[in-house]
Structure formats: structure tokens, C-alpha cells
A and B are shown apart, each in its own frame.
Chain A
Amino acid sequence: MSTTAQLVQGHHDPTLQHHFHTKEQQFETSKLGMWLFLATEILLFGGLFVGFALMQQKYPQAFLLAHHHLDRSLGALNTVVLLLSSFTMVMAVWAAQTSRKKLLVWLLLATMACAFIFLGVKYFEYSHKFHEGLLPGKFYSHKGDTVPNQFVFFSFYFMMTGLHGIHILGGIGAIGWLVIRALKGDFDANYYTPVDLIGLYWHLVDLIWIYLFPLLYLIQ
């Protein structure tokens, strides 16, 4: 990279990019960037939340009836799984900070495992809905509804859980990448920024589910 900068400042740390003065500055900048990114994520989902709230207000009865088709216990199970994964992620960040390189790999793998369990459960839920024709928009073919417009609920159900699922997939990819780098021994107390940032991201994905679960599964 930058020869001039390195000459001027005389550092050789390969994890410090040329345009930063210090590692603290670099770390804080990355962290700020991540927080901003998370803010955009919240607003992205925010649009769907507002849309959901307004349509629920428009068709309260349809939404109430429609949500009975969701399986609360599966939803609750997934909530627990995600909370657990958040915990293992926190531990992973701690392991990185304290240079426990082996433990870090295991904790990351545990987090990934939880993510796969989550998706597995979602797969069962989705296929059940597919089977009953509880699908979004024009694909909705459920028979015997007493109140019209229930398909709107499922439009939102699939959009929201689908978008969330895409984020889980993204998280799995990111954590997988962390695992590979952790195996190479890239992270230790001196440099663990990626673990920290992806950890933040993972907590947000978890948090969004914490909102989605009561919103979709526990309508009163």
C-alpha cells in the first residue's frame, strides 16, 4: 500500500490502513460505519413495519384471523434459537478480544449452527403455508376464509420474514468468512474489528426478529 504514508509515520502494522493515523481511529471509524449501516437497515425494515401497521388498521379482522394460521410454538422456538445465537456471538467477540483463537472458532460455528436451525424451522413453516395456499398476493389460494383480504397479511408475512431470512443468510455468509479467517489465526486482542462488527450486525438481525415475532405471531 502507501509507501509515503508508511515512511512518514513509520509504522508497519499490516492491519492499519494507510489513511488512518492510529488503530483506535481505524477501529472507531469502522464501528461508526457499522452503526450507520444498521440505521439504514432499521429504516428499511421500518418501511415494512409502517406498511404492516397501516394495513392492519385497515383490515383488523382479516389480520387477526390470518395470523391464527401461524404456528406460535415454532415462532417461539425460533426466538429462543436466535437469542441463543446472540449469546454465542457475544462470547465469540469476547474470545477474539482475549485471543482465545480456538474457542472463537467454536463459538462462531455455534452461532452458525443456530442460524441454520432457525432457517430449518422457517423451512417447515413455509412449506406448511405453501401447502395450505397461504401465499402472498395473487398466489393466495386458501379456501374457506370468512373475512376477505387475508392475503394481505401473508404478503407482509412473507415479505418481512423473507427479508429477515435474507439477512440471516447474509449473516451466515459473513460468519463463515470469519470462521475461515479465525482458522488462519487472523484475530486476536490486537485486531478483532470484523468479529466485533459482524457481531453487531448479528444482534440487529436478532433484534428485528424480536419485533417480528410478537407482531406477526401474537396479534391480539
Chain B
Amino acid sequence: MAAVAHVPAQAHAQTNYLNAQKGVWSWMTTVDHKRIGIMYLSLISTSFFLGGIFALLIRLSLLNPKHMVFGKVIFDAETYNRIFTLHGVVMVFLFIIPSIPAALGNFVLPLMLGAKDVAFPRLNLLSLYIYFVGAVFGIAAMVTGGVDTGWTFYTPYSTTTNSQVTLMTMAAFILGFSSIFTGLNFIATIHKLRAPGMGWFQMPLFCWGIYATAIIQVLATPVLGITLVLLMLERSFQIGIFDPRIGGDPVLFQHFFWFYSHPAVYIMILPGMAIISEIIPTFSQKTIFGYRSIAFSSVAIALVGFLVWGHHMFVSGQSPLASVIFSFLTFLVAIPSGIKIFNWLATMWRGNIKLDAPMLYAISFLLLFSIGGLTGIFLGALSVDIHLTDTYFVVAHFHYVMMGGTVIAFIAGLHYWWPKMTGRMYSEKIARVACALTFIGFNVTFMSQFLLGSRGMPRRYYNYLDQFQPLHAFSTYGSWILGAGLGLTAICLLSSLRKAPDAPRNPWGGRTLEWTTQSPPIEHNFDVDPVLTHGPYDYRKPLPVEVEA
């Protein structure tokens, strides 16, 4: 980092996007993608916190089979069912789907492209408001009694239970539009607003990841929308499509649901992978290996990902032939993820690696996502999935990819771009400790769940056999370590806002355009519109002096 050490810190009085305009109103009516990104970031972090509280309650209840905490039963079965449902719904719809694209993507995508804003700034603000309205509906559903269907809303349970299913599906429906508009905006931005000289293959890989994600957001989310509308109508008017009592087909709902929700898992992971593709070259000070493979594999995952939804339904009663085909396609879609992993490894090879917090998180991602992905192979294999489906093995699988993958990548990106977004350097020391705690806590929490699942512990269980107690307790202890790690992360980042050194333009020595503007950027991003002369990740020369203030 010697090259950047001498970059003068910026004068405090400098104007930037944060202080260019003042007052709450200026935030609420802003069309600046950076401010919108920051607002998303705070809403999304709040959602994650809420979902995390629910998670800790789940774990607390499962600490022992009698649900005793300090000699008291903490929840009955009905409350437990509501808690895991709300945990899933909050984490999926309010947190992880918008997380990276809407918060970090909004902030850095135009910067990386050398653009002044996203293609449709007002639509961007509208997405934020739609998200907010959706969240209000979600909260309304929670405070008026919650939902007890599981986040999958399977019929006919969801059409007959008397919990707040209609309000909650309404919330998910509205949130879907927010996601669609964000995706639409990003596709148009990437197509049309790249800086002069930036061809498709000079674009940073983050943009490719966001692009692939946006394709899924735009093409899959409307199907979820209509499915949720059908569910609401079935519930209130008995239209006869999903409820077998009136001639409907419950398995049809599952097809509709997973047609969105499988591609949605790639909405979750592709942006995470996109962040890793930025961090690894930067902290290895080496050009990315296999740029095109990484870019194309994102698009391949997005497209093939549309054809594998039936792997969630191997025991649902769908035809065996369908199961065989879905299993085959599931294995195909695993290949591009593997390609990425190996390309990242090749990038680090012969690099010049520094283990700052973003890189530590990126490495955590590499390991945890590999475990999550490789256990996905178990689930894609037909005969094995029959045993494992709807057990804690699946729960462990998806937490390894979603929490160990996406959330860790999100935190990695948050540290990586924190200096750019806030103009402050967080404490590297605290961040590393927090990363280690999170890593350890995470593995303790979820490694045990693979064993629980393969030994036959079904998911969504309030009561369980005594034989599973030690592993459950182990998992619960892990969740506390994990909570401590995440709490420390929050403290580390937030405290940097009050008192911390000012950030230089390019603290990590990155080679993408966002590092060429000041930290935090000015209102319209660049003093001079950037023109590209070569692609990203070129480390042939030592750090250029582009970083002076």
C-alpha cells in the first residue's frame, strides 16, 4: 500500500454528494444514485438485523427439546412457526434480494461505468419508495399476527390458514416491483451509459454480475408477481387453481413458485460473486484471470438457472421423468460456478496478496460458498435428495450459500467500498477480529446442521427427538458467536463515521473507475467525464499517480 500512503487526505470542507444539499427533504427527493444507494443500505441493514433477531430466537428455542430458557418455555409451536416464516420472508424478500444490487450496486455501478447516474434516476427513487411501501406491508403483516406458512407459501396450507398470508404476499408482490425496476434500470444503464471507450469487455466484472442478475430480476419476478396474485385470489375468492378442495392443483403452485425462486437464488449469489471478482484482483494486485469466462459464466448461470426449478420438487409428486431432467440441468448449472472459483484461485496465484478485511471476507466467501455449492451437488443427485430434502441438510446448504456466500460477499463489498461511500477508513484491526468471529461462529452454527439433516432431522420442526439435542445446542452456541461477530462488524463500521481517518481516493489500489474520483464522490461523480483507454485490472505498472486529490 506504499503507493497510496502519501496521497494527501482531502480537506474536510470539500463538497461531495453527502453535503452538497442539506436537509431531510433533499434526501427524500434526491435522484442521485449514491444517496439512493445509501438509503437502501440503511433499510436493508435494518431488515437484516430484524431477520437476524428472528434467527437468534429460532436457535434459542431449539437449544433444548423442551424449549426451556431459564426454566421457562419460550415459545409454543404456533409462535415458532411464525418466527421461522418471518425469518425466511424478511431475509429473502426484504434483505438478500435487494441487498447487493440495490444498495452497493446503486452506489458503485454508475461510478464503475464512468456514468453520472443510472439510466432512469427517478425510476430509481421510485423503486426505493416501492421497497419502502412493501416493507410497510410486511411489517403490518407481522404486527397483526404474522404468517405461519414458511417462506414458500405452499398451498393448500397457505390458502386455508388464518394467519396474515394475504398481507404478506401483498408485501412480497410489491417488493417484487421494486426489484424489477432496479433490474430494468441497471440493464439500461449498462447498455447505454458506459463511458466512451468502454466496450462490453472493458467493463468491470461487477457490472457483468449485476447485468446477469438484472436479467433474472426482470424476467423471473413478474412470474412471482402473478403467482402471488393468484394465491391471494385463491385465498379470498376460491378461484379454483391451487386448492384441491375446489378442483385446483397444489403442485402447480410449487412449479410457479420455484420458477421464480430458483432463479432468485442466483439473484442472490451473482452479485456476491461479482463483488468477489473485484476484490480478489485488487488485493492480489494482479489482473483477473479468465475475464471472459467469468463474465460469460454469470450470464450462463442466469440463463440455465431458469430451467432447474424442479429440483425443489423431487418428492412433490412430479413425474419421475421431470425429476431426471431437472437433476441433469442442475448439474449443468453447477459448472459455471466452479469455473469462477478456479478463475479466482488462478488470479491469486503469483499475485501480491494483502489480507485486509475485504480480502479476508473474500476468502471466507471462497471457502464457505464452496461448501454450500458442493453440498448442492448432494441435493441435485436424485436418490440422495430423496433422503435429504426437507431436512436440516437443506437448511445448512442454503445458509452456506446465502449467509456464507451472499452475506459474506455483501460485508466484503461493504468494507471495500466503505471508504468511497463515507470518506472514512474503518479500523482494520477490529474488522479482522470481527471477520474471524463471524467465520468461526458461522461454521459452528451450520456445520452441525449438515449432520442433523443427514441423520434425519426434518426442518421446520418445533419439537425434536432427544438424540438431536447435542448438535442443536452446538448450533445455537454458534449463532451467539456469529451474532457477536456481526455486532462487532456493525460497531466497527458505524464508529468509523464519528472518528476515523479520512479516506484517500484509492485506498486499496483498485483499477476501476470508482477509485479515480474523490472519496466521497461529488454530486455528479466525476470532475471530468472519464474516457477509457484500456480495460480494468491492469497492474503491469506500479500504482499510477491518478490517485492525487
A interface, CB within 8 angstroms of B: 2, 4-5, 8, 17-21, 25, 28-29, 32-33, 36-37, 39-41, 43-48, 51, 54-55, 58-59, 136-139, 148-149, 151-152, 155-156, 159
Report how many A-B pairs have Cβ atoms within 8 Å.
Answer: 122
**Cβ of B185: which chain A residues have Cβ within 8 Å of it?**
33
CB of A28 within 8 A of CB of B192, answer: yes
**Cβ of B240: which chain A residues have Cβ within 8 Å of it?**
55, 137, 149, 151-152, 155
CB of A48 within 8 A of CB of B226, answer: yes
Chain B, residue nearest A151 (CB):
B240
CB of A19 within 8 A of CB of B252, answer: no
Which of the residues B116, B188, B223, B246 comes within 8 Å of A43, measured between beta carbons? Answer: B223
CB of B219 within 8 A of CB of A33, answer: no
CB of A40 within 8 A of CB of B247, answer: no
Which of the residues B188, B222, B227 comes within 8 Å of A41, measured between beta carbons? Answer: B222
A185 to B201, CA, bound (A): 43
Segment touching A, from B100-108, B231-239, B536-544: B231-239
CB of A51 within 8 A of CB of B116, answer: no
**Cβ of A44: which chain B residues have Cβ within 8 Å of it?**
222-223, 225-226
B interface, CB within 8 angstroms of A: 115-121, 123, 180, 184-185, 187-188, 191-193, 218-223, 225-227, 229-230, 233-234, 237-241, 246-249, 252, 256, 522-524, 528-529
CB of A43 within 8 A of CB of B256, answer: no
CB of B226 within 8 A of CB of A138, answer: no
CB of A51 within 8 A of CB of B252, answer: yes
CB of B237 within 8 A of CB of A137, answer: yes
CB of A33 within 8 A of CB of B241, answer: no
**Cβ of A5: which chain B residues have Cβ within 8 Å of it?**
116, 524
Majority secondary structure of chain B interface residues (helix, strand, loop or mixed):
helix
Residue with the highest number of chain B CB atoms closer than 10 Å, among A5, A25, A137: A137
A17 to B522, CA, bound (A): 18
Residue with the highest number of chain A CB atoms closer than 10 Å, among B120, B188, B227, B234: B188
CB of B249 within 8 A of CB of A155, answer: no
CB of B237 within 8 A of CB of A36, answer: no
CB of B121 within 8 A of CB of A19, answer: yes
In the A-B complex, the 4 residue pairs with the smallest Cβ-Cβ separation, listed nearest first, are A47-B226, A155-B239, A137-B237, A19-B116
A67 to B528, CA, bound (A): 64
**Are A43 and B219 also in contact (CB < 8 A) when A2-B116, A36-B187 are?**
yes
Which of the residues A8, A40, A137 comes within 8 Å of B222, measured between beta carbons? Answer: A40
**Cβ of B528: which chain A residues have Cβ within 8 Å of it?**
8
A40 to B217, CA, bound (A): 9
Which of the residues B218, B233, B252 comes within 8 Å of A39, measured between beta carbons? Answer: B218
Chain A, residue nearest B247 (CB):
A149
